Chain A
Amino acid sequence: MNSNQAIEILLVEDNPDDLDLTLRALSKARLSNSIHVARDGEQALDFIYRRNEYAAGGGPANPKVILLDLKLPKIDGLEVLRTLKGDAATRTIPVVVLTSSKEQRDIVESYNLGVNSYIVKPVDFERFVDAVQNLGLYWLLLNQPPAS
């Protein structure tokens, strides 16, 4: 993996099928160049804070957007969200929850923690591709983050 490149998207996904489909959708939208995939919450936080396996990477890696699944092994998505949004250094990183859950409880909690967007993964593949492409375009090209 091209970990030394400037990472634009951090995809946090434990389900390999969903991961493949997401990556496929992103690549179809030509957004797959600088993606880093974390397979659980701990990896995601390690990547952001350059800890453990990512310790050699230097200062905090601030991707342009984090696509975050909620149901994750070890540290779940909401906990990751809480950590990132609770830290001034990482608060400005846009986080988009991309999950299967339509549970109101999850949606409300996510927004309370400061999520920037909440996307339910459609079952229908075409709609899923549309959704991923749209959000990639929006957050990577249209959205203007503050200067870090």
Chain B
Amino acid sequence: MSSLPHPKQAGQPGGATLAAARRRPPWQAYLLALGCTGATLLLRFAIGPLHYPAFGAALFAFPILLSAGIGGFGPGVASTLAAVALVLTFPASGQTSPSIAFEIVTLLAAGLIVSSVAGRLKEHAAANRRSRLLGGLFIAAACAIVTAVAVFRSIESPPTGASQDRSILRLVAALHGLHQRSAAVEQDASDFAHTPDASHAATLRASLREEQASADLLGELLGPDPERNADLTALRAAVNDERRRLGSLLSARPAAAATAVPTPRPIELQSGDLDDLIERIEWMTLSDAEERASRAEDHNAFTRSVVLLGGGLASCLLVMGVFVIGADEAERRHSEEGLRSENEWLENAVRERTRELLETNRSLAASEERLQLFVRHVPAALAMFDTEMRYLTASTRWVEDHQMDAGPLRGRPHYDLFPDIPEAWKEIHRRALAGETLRSEREQVRRPDGSVQWLRWEVLPWHEADGRVGGILIFREDITERIETEESLRYHQQLLQETGHIAKVGGWEFDAVTGKGGWTEEVARIHDLDPAHPINRDEGIDFYEPGSRARIAEAVKRAVEQGVSYDLELQIVSASGVHKWVRTIGHPVVVDGRVVKVRGSFQDITAQKRTEEEIRRLNAELESRVVRRTAELEAANRELEAFSYSVSHDLRAPLRSVNGFARVLLEDFAPTLPQEARDCIARICNGASRMGQLIDDLLAFSRLSRAPLTLQPIDMNALVHSALIELQSGSDAARAEVRFSALHPCEGDPALLKQVWTNLLSNAFKYSSRRDQPVVEIGSAAAEGTVEYFVRDNGTGFDMRYAHKLFGVFQRLHRADEFEGTGVGLAIVQRIIHRHGGRVRAVAKPDQGATFFFTLHQSHVS
């Protein structure tokens, strides 16, 4: 959490030193323990005989305490054992066995207790330097107190005044006791001498033991006083002599040895000896004041020496303490810098951490709220469960996906809500609860409606602060759309590639600066190169034919330098030497005003070029053929024109001569001519006139083929009206009833179409003229862009067998004496309608009228 670097990590050398300095080598503590114990022994010898044996134990308490205090349990025990060994090995002068035992027991008990307590203290204090120092000081203080107590006890203890008197009384009593015991021993010894049986032997032994005890008590009371000791020694020597004598006495009575241990004769204190002893005791008791003063002075000297020694010891302890503390100080100084920096870092870290914790605490509640909010609005299905698969939270998407009601979710068991969960899922949940993380990147499932759904899911355990699995998280995402998009993309890429292959087109690009580039497989294929073949700009340009190379190089240069696109059709020579036509399109890619790349497309257009050339060749051929045909047609037209021109001019002139002079003959010579001749002349005139009419119609028909067609929208009603008006002057038309319904408009040449109507209507009037009620009907019907017009009459009609002749030039179905006409009118109608792209037909029956139909294109303008 903290961003502060740890000084150790920063490589500060003080760290290792510090850690090493904290651990004192154990052998030092043990050495100190043994040394102190030895020193204490020396001290004890220096002090001399002690009035109380407990002092010995007390003295040895110092090194034990010190060792335990500094070194802990191990050195404390070591010191204790050393002290015991030393006490055993070097007992103090005048020490009795019980005294030694007492001292050892005390030492052992006290030493073990102190060591274990100090060990425990040390353990607790190990992490805390101050506690350790306090512990050390406490021990030092304890040592000082014990020392002081010991010193004061030592000062107090010497027999001075009343207590000394009480000692003397006890001594006297002991002396008396000894004396009585000795007398009893004397008595029993003499009894045993008389009657050496077992009972007397037992009595004597008991007396001897009592005497010995008294002697011991006396010895004890006499203490270490050298003078008294000397007396006692003498006394003891006497007693021992006596004992030896008694022993020999007892051993001289082997009869009693079976049941009695031969007992030496007890000390035989001569009355003189005893008196002397008593006197000496009395002397001790009754010594004069000077003597007392001298003794007191001696005693003071002893006290001083004890105080000095005690002080020395305390000083020694203090020095040791100081040494210990000093050593620690040295260590601390040694690692002061490291400590300080570490402390600073620690403080900063602590501050930082504290701040973070405070911050964390403050935002924890809000964070929890936000987390809930976040989870709810995660755009995926997400749910959090505890170890019993009870809901903790879930995203809205999860709730929607599972079609759960909107009620509170927390605490509701998942398996109760969805009893049909497959066992496989439960197994996954179990594994996750056991600490495993399971996931699937894409899994296909079928929706209830049968459609396929793709899921990505992950089930993972979440952990409590102490590391236990607190439950699981289930994350599920619907990736159907993504998968479908990917598949679609893949499909389209494939399609593109296939299309490129079919169309022989691909893409390329190169870097504007380095010229390095790449191209698609198809481009490589067009070059007859392996798709993996690396390519660059210059190598690409080298594939062009010499004629094309300059153009592509210039185009590429302009693209790179001026950002100009190009689209060129050029020729290349592929890697396998095939000449190909290609179309290459290049577009510069401009970033920040600089061309960084040029990319474009590349297509093999060889086949296209070939086709184009073929088409061009065919076109040229066709054109020349058209020109030739046109010339031929034009020539034919010119001939036709010349023909019709000469017909117009020259063919009619002779007719006119025939007609004119026949008429002159009639006019000038009619009276001289017989009637038959006049009839002949009249026929000549009619024939010439009719010939003139034929020529006129024929020329009109010929003109139709040559006149240009001027197409325009036509109002057929108006056109028909104008044609009718022109025809009405004829008598046939005047008689007829014209039934006229509104006609559809159409597109055509008005002049020509008027000719059509004129011809058809005049025919209709003509052929219905013999009816009493001639009726001519005009109408139209439109369908699919075409208008069909009709003209119906109730005239003579015709036989449909001859319908095919109807529209031929000069073809007639009626004789000229029945109905006038040259047989050109319907031919003209058909020619005009055909030129408009329409059709003409007729439906008729003899004497039942005829209907002529013709179609035209409907006008685009309504």
Contact = CB atoms under 8 A, between A and B. Distances in A.
A100 B656 contact: yes
Given A124-B659, A125-B656, 4 more contacts: A100-B649, A103-B648, A123-B659, A125-B659
Interface string A96-112: 00011111110000000
B696 A125 contact: no
Contact of A128 (B644, B654, B656, B662): B656
Interface centre among B649, B689, B691, B692 (most CB of A within 10 A): B649
A18 B645 contact: no
A119 interface: no
Contacts of B699: 102-103
A61 interface: no
Contact of A102 (B653, B664, B696): B696
A123 B655 contact: yes
A71 B649 contact: yes
B645 to A, nearest CB: 6
Given A104-B703, A123-B688, A124-B689, A21 B657 contact: yes
In this complex, the interface size class of chain A, counting residues with CB under 8 Å from chain B, is: 20 to 34
A125 B663 contact: yes
Given A123-B689, A124-B689, A18 B657 contact: yes
Given A102-B699, A124-B692, A18 B656 contact: yes
Contacts of A102: 648, 696, 699
Contact of B653 (A24, A100, A126): A100
A17 interface: yes
Contacts of B836: none
A15 B656 CA distance: 11
A103 B644 CA distance: 9
B820 interface: no
Contact of B650 (A71, A103, A124): A71
Interface string A119-144: 00111111010000000000000000
A70 interface: yes
Contacts of A71: 649-650
A76 to B, nearest CB: 11
B660 interface: yes
B323 interface: no
B648 A100 contact: yes
A89 to B, nearest CB: 30
Contacts of B654: 17
5 contacts: A100-B652, A100-B656, A101-B649, A103-B649, A124-B689
Interface centre among B645, B653, B664, B696 (most CB of A within 10 A): B653
Nearest to B688: A123
B521 to A, nearest CB: 70
Interface string B648-677: 111011111101111110000000000000
A123 B656 contact: yes
B660 A125 contact: yes
B653 A18 contact: yes
Given A70-B649, A100-B649, A102-B648, A123 B692 contact: yes
A21 B699 CA distance: 24
Nearest to B654: A17
Given A123-B689, A123-B692, A124-B692, A99 B649 contact: yes
A102 B644 CA distance: 10
A100 B696 CA distance: 11
Given A71-B650, A100-B649, A100-B652, A17 B660 contact: yes
Contact of A17 (B650, B653, B688, B696): B653
B685 interface: yes
A105 B655 CA distance: 22
A15 B660 CA distance: 13
Given A18-B657, A104-B703, A24 B652 contact: no
A21 B657 CA distance: 8
Interface in A65-114: 70-71, 99-105
Contacts of A121: 652, 656
Contacts of A123: 652, 655-656, 659, 688-689, 691-693
Interface centre among B660, B661, B703 (most CB of A within 10 A): B660
Contacts of A124: 659, 685, 688-689, 692
B460 to A, nearest CB: 102
Interface of A: 15, 17-18, 21, 24, 70-71, 99-105, 121-126, 128
A17 B658 CA distance: 9
A17 to B, nearest CB: 4
B664 A100 contact: no
Contact of A126 (B650, B663, B693): B663
Nearest to A70: B649
A24 B649 CA distance: 21
A29 B696 CA distance: 28
Contacts of B656: 17-18, 21, 100, 121-123, 125, 128
B645 A103 contact: yes
B649 A17 contact: no
Nearest to A105: B645
A57 to B, nearest CB: 31
Interface centre among A99, A101, A104, A124 (most CB of B within 10 A): A124
Contacts of A104: 703
Nearest to A25: B660
A102 B649 CA distance: 8
B650 to A, nearest CB: 7
Interface string B600-631: 00000000000000000000000000000000
A18 B659 CA distance: 11
A101 B655 CA distance: 13
Contacts of B662: 125
For the complex of A and B, the 7 pairs showing the least CB-CB separation, nearest first, are: A123-B692, A17-B657, A125-B663, A125-B660, A21-B660, A100-B652, A101-B648
A101 B699 CA distance: 10
Interface string B681-703: 00001001101110010010001
B707 to A, nearest CB: 8
A103 B643 CA distance: 12
A15 B653 contact: yes
Nearest to A99: B649
A100 B650 contact: yes
A103 B664 CA distance: 28
Contacts of A101: 645, 648-649
Given A100-B649, A123-B692, A17 B663 contact: no
A97 B25 CA distance: 156
A84 B159 CA distance: 196
A71 B648 CA distance: 11
B678 to A, nearest CB: 15
Contacts of B691: 123
Contacts of A125: 656, 659-660, 662-664, 685
Nearest to B645: A103
A123 B692 CA distance: 6
A102 B695 CA distance: 11
Contacts of B644: 103
B647 to A, nearest CB: 10
A35 to B, nearest CB: 18
Contacts of A100: 648-650, 652-653, 656
A2 B653 CA distance: 28
A125 B703 CA distance: 26
Contacts of B659: 123-125
A100 B654 CA distance: 10
Contacts of A17: 653-654, 656-657, 660-661
Contacts of A128: 656, 660
A24 B663 CA distance: 12
Interface in B535-558: none
A105 B703 CA distance: 11
Interface centre among A15, A24, A100, A128 (most CB of B within 10 A): A100
A15 B692 CA distance: 18
B684 to A, nearest CB: 11
A84 B700 CA distance: 31
Contacts of B689: 123-124
A133 to B, nearest CB: 14
